[in-house]
Structures are given as structure tokens and as C-alpha cells.
Structure 1
């Protein structure tokens, strides 16, 4: 098996619900400007491994996956590995379009496959040739002035297609695209949304942060129980969850203290960390995308730490926490420094979260580069770490994503 990595970027609808992921495939030989042959090989590798090892459901959960489909991949038998209900095949305008390619796309469309036209900035003859095939058009909004974008949207609206705003990097861009009627959105503004820290911290989440502080510290069970009693909804969820997984026990759990003891401090800590990401009314369902990203980061950090130090469970747990906590400033709307101070976490974790330094910091940097498909940065960090190959990273990432999807289903 050749080396590859799999990155995912969330795609959201107008209500900021998570509706799909773009799957980013690369090999160690490729860069951002990969050749068609390497693109095909990289895509094939990931598709086959995702299916054979864990199944595409683990990679995508209930969402669709937008997959780069150059002509060579579309014409190949590999497509038969991709159930039509799971994927949207992305065609680039720069692709060499032949009569055979058009015929193949029509046949696949009749079999239920959906196509998207990727990174459009203007109408031209080739775009008009491909539009009858596609159900989604991804418009590169970063490359266009407002007037140009408005004109392009008006031209595209003549076709029965959904419009996806690609490379949305600011709230202003998102608002303008909303006004123009875009149905879907993708970009660093959503996938790495530090810009959202301007929102006010949700009081309920600050209470959860207090609870997390107690669980992570040396507080006794009575103190943790007392904090739960201040939050009836949380207590109910805890009891319900513990009872649902405690079928083998002779009797039902009927007290908060009993539930805490059965769950154990480590699992309770993980549960509270993930609860901080669950959707709240003030932020639509952006949090569902954030929760999945944070959960996948946590698990991937833990799995990387397990490769580095297989017998050091403490190191693995700290790595998990760094991954989970790395987006908490976005969710709470407060500076990471305040979170680090409040939780009183060890120096190596603080350095990782604040300035991406130290072993854990470099591993977090690796994961963030992977999310964005920054091939050169990934290769550099892997070389510096010295214990992880690109193919090993891809394998454990598929495990982490599958775990995060299952967690997301439970949380919803």
C-alpha cells in the first residue's frame, strides 16, 4: 500500500447544519498541484482502504462525501466501489472533457451518482457543457469581487443546480453569499473557525467548564456531585447515559453519585469535554461540525501518542485532551489562555494549546495541517517527529474519524 492521507473539510447548509464532507486525498509523492495520474492513484488508495478496512460509513457517518473525480477515476472501474448514496463526484473545469467522458458521466448519473463542478469563477463554454451533468456548483468566492460573484450567481441560477460557496474565509463573505442565495458553504471560516470567538460565552458552557475543572482536578466525588445538582438537565443526561450502558448491572442507577462512580473519572471527563461542543441555540448547529472535528482531533492525538509511547497511558490521555480542548476557545468565545488558566493543565499541554510547541504541539499542528490538506507542512512535521509514516497517519486517521462519527451519533 502506498502512503496517503485523508483530510476532511465540513460542508454546511444555510442553517449551519453539517451536511457533507469534502474528502481530501494525497500521497507522499504529490503536492497541492498533483498530476492526474497521482491524483487517481491517491484517490484509489484511500477509497479502497476506507472500504476494506473500516467502511466508508466510518469515514462519512451519515453525511455525503465530496470526492475529487478526475476523468481517469471517472472512466475507471474504481467508481463501482463507491455507492452512489454516499458520494458526490467533483469534476474540475480544467479536466480534459472528451465525448467518452461525457457519455460515462451520463451513464453514472442514470445509476444515481451525483456530480459537482469544482472551483468555478466564471461562465465559459466548458462550464456550460458540464452544467447539465451536475447537481452542485462550487463557486470559488475568494477569487471574485462582489459584482463578479453576483453576476456569476445570476447566470448559474438559470440552471437547476445547488450553489456551494467555496473558500469562505470571513463572516462578511458568508453573509454576502447568504444574500445571494447560496445553499451550501465550505471554507476555513467553518473548518477552523477561530474568527467566531467574538461571540459571547454561553453561561451553560461556562458551568460545564467549571465541572470539567473539578473532574480534571483532585476534587472529591461529593464536590462533583454538588455541581451536577446545580444543573438538572445535565444530571438527567448523565443518569440516562449510565443506565443505557449498565444493562448488565443488577439494578438501575438511581443517584448522581452512583452514576459518577460507575462511569469513572476518565470517562466522565471525556463526556464533559464532548458536551462542551454539542449544539446550542445561540450558535445553530455549527457546534455539530465542531464537535466532530474536536472529537476526531482528540482520538487522532491519542492514537498518535500510542504509536509514540505504546505503554504510556498518561501521555495518551493528555494527547487526547489537547486535541479535544484545541477548539474550546471557539465554542466558549473566550481566549485559550483563560481556558488554560482555569483548567490548570500541565505545561506541555499549555504550550501545545497556546503556541503549538513541544511534542504535543507539533502533533496538534500536524492534525491541523492535515485538516487543511497542507502536504508540505505534513511531510515536514512527520519528518521532525520521526516515528510516524504518512500511511500510518492515514490508517489511524480513518479509525479516529470513525470513532468521532459514532460519538456524534450518540450526542445527537
Structure 2
């Protein structure tokens, strides 16, 4: 079936975090019809199209596998709420997010109760007030999403107090600043979502910690093909890095059949190409804690970018291993400014990267720069922006992007699942 004939699935996701800013779930965005608008068909039944796309996404794109240990929040309008297709979704993997446009009629309340009894978790979206008519719907919900932008600041504390009387989990959505996060934590919110987490900002002038300095030196050593002993000795300066490296290389995401038992073993088994990849990922971990913070949204986003760029590069320039490797590097490194608080040019000055990698990261130039623009577009949750980026890369079809997105999500999530 051609792209024009098959239903297209555009997947976007925004992280949902716990009180310790650990990653717990994603809100998934599904778009029916087209990323590619040129051959779009007329959609006569929007709800049928949307439900079909969601069902296909779980079946054909294996979104259930892609979620890994995380759950998916899925928007539900009134038509979808009463559709039989909603029951095709796996209740253990999804949270049904009841949109604010749905009126709390007796039929709606009964349907929510029915779905809840079948094992589905119910969340109420964009809550800014609780009226008497709305209370029965609150009673059958598990999670209440409070819209920070829609709630006047002076009304937030009374609203939270009112909702807490009902014993529900509270999710602060549209968190955009550190100040908002601090207020919501103080008020007792359980979960958090918003651009503050999904789009990290650069903090200028931050000093690198010793582990980050060593990691950049290690990256330079590997990229210069230094001796194994020299790389080992550099690792020994930070024992936490060695622990993280071994845990990452033994994760499901690595896919090794042999369990790695030492750093030298890892270097031997993985080879320099994979060692370089894991060093890039280690920049996003917490060496001082001696563990891998794979629940970090920034690590998840960086890993997804790297893998997605690699997969798309294979479509763009088939059988060019070096190009694919460089695409992975661009994806991972594109978020280092947000992590390290340094301009990308200053980071690259410490690493012997190829000119086209540097051009992509600094100027968004060349084929790698176009790929980076496309990958960043998928994070905007706007199909029109994705389409504009796809127009600049005509050799990548929408279906290829959709499949690559699902695979990249899975690869990044599996970094969190350590093999036993």
C-alpha cells in the first residue's frame, strides 16, 4: 500500500514526570490522515479515522513495545469515548485523558465508570474549576490534570485543596517555569508536564563538573582512536563513570548477547564505534550517584534524537555507515548545550568532530542539519511543522518517518530496562 493510500500516523510525545522529576509516562499525540498533505484524502468520519489510527499504531507500529516501562496518556473526545475501538487499547499501558470539551452527562459518567471497571485509568484534562455538575466525573477519575495557564494564580491553591478532598492524584500541566514547578511541588501535586521539561533551556556560565570534563576528554580520546589502556586510565579517574558504562552496555538497549563484566571487556566487545555512542549517552547520566539516570527526560530525548537521526540517515544515504554514525552523534550532541550550559561551538572546540557534524550542530547546515531540523520538528507536536521539514527531504517518506519514530522511542526506552 502506498503512503497516499495508507493511514498515516504522526506520533509526538511529551514527558510526564514525578515529584523527583523522574520520567513516568508520555502524553502521546496521534494525527490521522496525513503528514504529507499533497495526497490527502477527505475524511468523512474524523472519530473513526482517529480511532483506527490509534489502533493501528499499537498494532502496526508496536507502540506498546515502544513505551517500555512508561505509560501513554491518550486524548479522548466524546465520540471516541463511546467507540468500541477504545476497548482495543491495552488498559495496562494507557491512561484515557477525558478532554475538557466533554460534558459530564449521566451517559458520559456511566461510560467512564464502565471503562474504569474494565481496568482503564481515567484522567480529566485541562481542569480549571470544579462545579457541582462536574463532581460525579471527578469521582470516577484517577488523575486530575490542572491547567496552570488557564487557572488564575490566586485560584490554584483553593482548587488543589478542593481536589485533594476527593483523594485523586493531581497532575500540573503546562508547567513552563522553575517557579511554577516549585509552587506546584509545594502545593502537593503528584505529577508534572510541560515545556519546562520538554524544552530545556541553556543556563549560560554553568561550570562543568569533573565527570563531565573527563567525559569530554574520553570522547576526544575515542574519536582520536587512542590506545585502550589510555581510555581505561581516564575512566579510572571517575569510578562512577565505569559503573554507568557497564550498566548501559548491559542494558536491553545495547542488545549484547554477552554480559559485559569489565571496562576492558566492554571496549573489546563493543568496539570503538559503540564505545563512542555510550560515552555520548553517559554525559546525560549521574556519575556521582553511581547509577544511570535513564529516567531523565533529557537523556530520553537525546537518545531518541540520536537513534531517530541514525535511522533516517540510513534512508537518506543508504550503505553509508559513516554518515549514519555522524547522524547519531549530531542527534545526541544537539542537547548538550542544554545539559552543560555551554554554547555548542564551545563544546565542539574540545572534540575532533567532522566538519559536516560541526556544520549541522552550529548552523543546521548540510544533509545532517536538515535531518536535525526534521527530528526537532517531530518534538513540536505540530504536523504542519513536520511537513515543512519533510518537504526539504523528499527522499524520506512519511511512513518511513513514522516507523523510525516508533523504533527510536523503543530504543531510548529500552535503555531503562537492564537485562538480568
1:96-175 equivalence runs, <5 A: 96-124=103-131, 127-175=134-182
Tell whether the 8 Å contact from 1:279 to 1:286 is kept in structure 2 after alignment. no
Question: Gaps spanning 5+ residues in structure 1: where?
Answer: none
Unmatched runs of 5 consecutive residues or more in structure 2 = 1-5, 37-42
Question: What secondary structure sits across from 1:163 in the alignment?
Answer: strand
Distance change (3 Å), C-alpha of 1:326 and 1:126: farther
In the superposition, the TM-score normalised over structure 2's length comes to: 0.86
> Could you tell me which of 27, 32, 54 is aligned with 1:22?
27
Contact 2:66–2:406 (CA under 8 A) maintained in structure 1: yes
Cα–Cα, structure 1 residues 126 and 326, in superposed 2: closer, same or farther, change >3 Å? farther
CA distance in 1, matches of 2:50, 2:400: 15
CA displacement, residues 145-172 of structure 1 (integer Å, 9 cap, x when unaligned):
3213223223322322111111111111
Give how far 1:239 is off. Answer: 6.4
SS of the residue corresponding to residue 164 of structure 1 reads strand
Comparing 286-295 with 230-239, greater Cα deviation is found at 230-239
Distance 1:268 1:172, change over 3 A: same
Between structures 1 and 2, the one with greater helix share: 1
With over 3 angstroms needed to count, the CA separation of the structure-2 counterparts of 1:60 and 1:392, relative to structure 1, is same
Change in 2 beyond 3 A, CA 1:42/1:362: farther
Say if 2:47 is the partner of 1:42.
no
The correspondence for 2:370, drawn from 362, 367, 372, is 362
> TM-score w.r.t. structure 1 length?
0.87
SS across alignment from 1:10:
strand
Instruction: Give the Cα separation in 1 of the matches to 2:207 and 2:44.
Output: 46
Deviation of residue 80 (structure 1)?
2.5
Partners of 1:50 and 1:59 within 8 A in 2:
no
CA contact (8 A) 1:28 1:390 kept: no
Q: What's 1:379 paired with?
A: 387
- Aligned counterpart in structure 1 of residue 235 of structure 2, from 207, 214, 228: 228
1:273 equivalent to 2:306? Answer no
Deviations 1:282-302 (A, max 9, x none): 899586222221111111101
Task: Give the whole-Å Cα distance in 2 for the aligned partners of 1:157 and 1:243.
Answer: 42
Residues 192-207 of structure 1: matches in 2 within 5 Å? 192-195=199-202, 200-207=207-214
Q: Cα offset for 1:55?
A: 5.1
* Aligned residue number for residue 61 of structure 1: 68
Q: Secondary structure at the match of 2:415?
A: helix
Compute the displacement of 1:197 (Å). 6.1
Matches within 5 A, 1:280-291: 288-291=296-299
Higher mean alpha-carbon deviation, 339-348 vs 321-330, is at 339-348
CA distance in 1, matches of 2:250, 2:126: 49
